[in-house]
Structure 1
Amino acid sequence: MNIFFKEIDENNWRECINLKIKQEQDVYLPHPNVVSIAEWKFNPNWNALGIYISNEMIGFAMYGVDIGDNTMCLFRFMIDENYQGKGFGKCALDGILKKIKSENDFNEIWLSFHPESIVAEMLYSSFGFKPRITGLEADDEVFYVLKY
């Protein structure tokens, strides 16, 4: 698969906010992409990227340093409903993780997801992410970390 990434900008932000997940997944995503884009604009150490195949944006990822605890985090990772279940998510996650590792000196990457999202748990675990108890867990969030 020839997946690549482009920074979200004035030319593609609308395409990003129009990406959708399956209706039954709505409870797993804390807020729409437009909110993530707003958060990114106020956090200069974060990156927001469209995930592409050819000229088609198929997903969105946002990562950067959480200044609260100086950790590298994958804050958002989503694949549009029309591209789920076809291997694009796995390929895109592999690319995002390689990009994060190549750009930073951190030796771990944190992320969180809804504890009932079995697909997310399987995907992240397949890349070596392990659950981590932080004391900040909630009914809608568990934390995982990848050490490298």
Structure 2
Amino acid sequence: MIRLKEVDCSDWYACIKLEVTEEQNGISPAPVVYWLEEARLDRRLVPMAIYSDTSLVGFAAYAGEADEQGRHWIMALMIGRGYQRQGYGKAALAELVRLLVTKHGARTIAVGHRTDDTGAGTLFESSGFQEAGGSGDGEIVRSCEAPVTTVGIVRSCEAPVTTVGSHA
């Protein structure tokens, strides 16, 4: 089971030690330490550690406030190299969407990824994020509408999550 936890003094160092694969080094736009520093300077950015039980498997950061177009942004999502291709990315994305909707009232959620990051593109598209343009600097912007039922379950931004830890 995936659990999101706001990064604090107990896990910030472990977060900055997370690494992606060699192939991803050139397409990951910023290391975790960058996001932690940005969050220190801009309190609207919320850094999250991604845990599977007690193991730190990844890192994410999101904007707690909507932008001028009403979108809540997932600014960063990375899964450590030893945990990739096991369903953690999809499960973490679903939890981030749930968090943005339930805690921040998000209706539109946006993500951006580099055009050459096909793994991120596949993950976001399979989770209901549709291409919404580009930023002009080699980034694809995707978004999804997140209507919520009366019991708080997000319907349109998430595809069914495969079992975490499987090689689906």
- Normalising to structure 2: TM-score of the pair? 0.80
Deviations for 1:15-38, whole angstroms, at most 9, x for unmatched residues? 000000001101221111001100
Question: Aligned runs of 1:28-39 on 2, under 5 Å?
Answer: 28-39=27-38
Distance across 2 between alignment mates of 1:14 and 1:62: 16
Match of 1:112 in 2: 112
- Cα deviation 1:39-63 (Å, max 9, x = unaligned): 0111212211100012211000100
Q: Does 1:72 align with 2:72?
A: yes
Q: What SS does structure 2 have at the residue aligned with 1:28?
A: coil
Q: Classify the secondary structure of the residue corresponding to 2:26.
A: helix
Number of equivalent positions: 145
What is the alpha-carbon distance in structure 1 between the residues aligned to residue 70 and residue 39 of structure 2? 16
Please name the residue that 2:3 is paired with: 4
- Is the CA contact 1:137–1:143 (under 8 Å) kept in the aligned structure 2? no
- Give the aligned partner of residue 103 of structure 2: 103
The match for 1:27 is 26
Please give the root-mean-square deviation of Cα atoms over the aligned residues, in Å.
Answer: 1.5
Residue 132 of structure 1: SS of its match in structure 2?
strand
Aligned-partner Cα distance in 2 for 1:108–1:68: 12
**Partner residue of 1:61?**
60
Identity in percent: 25
> How far apart, CA to CA, are the structure 1 residues paired with 2:69 and 2:19?
31
- In structure 2, the residue matched to 1:146 is 144
Unaligned runs of at least 5 residues, structure 1:
none
Name which of structure 1's ranges 67-76 and 121-130 shifts more when overlaid on structure 2: 67-76
Which digits, 9 at most, give the CA deviation of each residue in 1:102-140, with x for residues without a partner?
112231011100111111111101111011125x3222x
**Normalising to structure 1: TM-score of the pair?**
0.91
Would the aligned equivalents of 2:71 and 2:107 in 1 still touch at CA under 8 Å?
Answer: no
Alpha carbons 1:4, 1:53 under 8 Å: kept: yes
